[in-house]
Amino acid sequence: MEQRKLGQDGPMVSAVGYGAMSFTDFYGPANDADSARVLDACLDLGITHLDTSNIYGMGRSETVIGNWLRNRGGVCPFTIASKVGITRDPEHRFNNAADHMAQELDASLQRLGVEAIDLYYVHRRDPRHEIEEVTATLAEFVKAGKVKAIGYSEIAPSSLRRAHAVHPIAAVQSEYSLSTRSPEMGLIQTCAELGTSLVAFSPVGRALLTDRPHGLKEAKNMEFLTKNPRFIEPNISANLAYNAKFRALAADMDTSAAALAIAWVLQKSQEVIAIPGTRSIAHLNELVAGGDMTLTEDDINRIEAVLPIGWAHGDRYSTTQWEGPEKYC
């Protein structure tokens, strides 16, 4: 698989990483033994980058990864990213205070069983703390040897510039796919200018860009999707109609819809690293196949003719889900 640099001075990682939110019950019941088998498959398929968070299953995702590493004798074949900043406190859903982040970092290190986390993100910004202050705290973690590089999730280009002025920002995580193209309005460009990777989560649009999209029935069994505008009527029916056209195009191009979606997002910029999540090893193979595809200009034009910018019906988040991510366009 193609390798891309994670940040200006970071390690080379696979262009397709793995999003380990799938090791939790976020999209339905998860099984730790199955999650371990997915990690085995990641290794076999050449995936070298794992993305997790302290909040995913309240530490469960990190624990699954840590147990898998311990069963291998503690040798880590992956570049691991984790995050801090989202809490279960209804009064303060986001916490970027230095003492809180330090405590959570130590807990993540213990769960993962590693001496240092390769990339440590602030998952959501806390309005009580300026980004320069938070970045200085993260820089102290680097100086202490507990973190190798730092990043932010769901921030605006202007915030990235402010943070980068304090300490190099290796990566910004953002939703980016054929169904969510807002990063093209400044974030990708700023990442390229600063040498920051854009780590794209949900690159297959929460299954809307696959051959097995979630219909209304499936979405009703997933709490996050029951409130997501793209998965409620009338939007879901309109989005599934576009999905059918995209699946037909992928079949005509002799590939899967998921692979085609991954290939598209990777081809949009060399700064992009995709981190899809799945519990299916068969689906994981499709996703990785996208990392080995090269699309021609004609291919890109055909894809964007079927899914033109702005095709998705409904916002990517509900009003409540928008609490935390920064809007910039």
pLDDT at 27: 76
pLDDT in tens, 121-153: 999 999 999 999 999 999 999 999 999 999 999
75 or 257: which carries more pLDDT confidence? 257
d(CA 324, CA 306): 32
* Residue 56 falls in the annotated catalytic set: yes
pLDDT at 294: 95
d(CA 19, CA 90): 26
Mean pLDDT of the chain: 95
pLDDT over threshold 80, residue 280: yes
pLDDT at 284: 97
3 state DSSP class of 152: strand
pLDDT at 191: 98
Q: Compute φ and ψ for 47, nearest 5 degrees.
A: -75, 130
Residue 233, C-beta contacts closer than 8 angstroms, at least 6 positions apart = 216
- Asked if residue 316 lies in contact with residue 230, where contact means CB atoms within 8 angstroms, the answer is yes
**Average of per-residue pLDDT across 160-167:** 98
Comparing C-alpha atoms, which of 163, 160, 156, 157 is closest to residue 133?
Answer: 163
Domains and CATH numbers, the chain: 3-208+256-294 (3.20.20.100)
- Asked if residue 6 lies in contact with residue 12, where contact means CB atoms within 8 angstroms, the answer is yes
pLDDT over threshold 90, residue 155: yes
pLDDT at 130: 97
Selected catalytic residue, list 18, 27, 56, 120: 56
pLDDT in tens, 72-87: 998 899 999 999 999 9
Task: List the alpha helices (DSSP H) in 46-97.
Answer: 60-71
The identity of residue 118, as a single letter, is D
Give me the numbers of helices (H) and strands (E) for the chain, helices first please. Answer: 12, 10
The identity of residue 274, as a single letter, is A
pLDDT over threshold 90, residue 90: no
pLDDT over threshold 90, residue 296: yes
d(CA 87, CA 84): 8
pLDDT in tens, 15-35: 999 999 999 988 778 899 999
113 phi-psi bin (left φ>0, alpha ψ -120 to 50, beta other): left
DSSP designation for 230:
G
pLDDT at 153: 98
d(CA 32, CA 34): 5
Torsion angle of alpha carbons 67, 73, 74, 75, nearest 10°? -120
Burial 286-318 (b: 16+ CB within 10 A, else e): bbbbbbebebeeebeeebeebbeeebbbbebbb
**pTM (global) more than 0.85:** yes
pLDDT in tens, 192-248: 999 999 999 999 999 999 999 988 888 877 888 889 999 999 999 999 999 999 999
Task: List the alpha helices (DSSP H) in the chain.
Answer: 32-45, 60-71, 98-112, 131-143, 157-164, 187-194, 216-219, 223-226, 235-252, 257-267, 281-291, 297-306
Whats the size of the chain, residue-wise? 329
d(CA 158, CA 161): 5
d(CA 123, CA 237): 32
**Using N-to-C axis directions, what is the helix angle for 98-112 and 131-143, rounded to 10°?**
40
- Asked if residue 183 lies in contact with residue 154, where contact means CB atoms within 8 angstroms, the answer is no
**Average of per-residue pLDDT across 56-76:** 93
Q: Would you give the distance in Å from CA 132 to the centre of its chain?
A: 24
pLDDT at 217: 81
d(CA 96, CA 73): 34
Rg (the chain; Cα; Å): 19
- Asked if residue 68 lies in contact with residue 36, where contact means CB atoms within 8 angstroms, the answer is yes
Lowest mean pLDDT of 6-20, 22-36, 155-169, name the range.
22-36
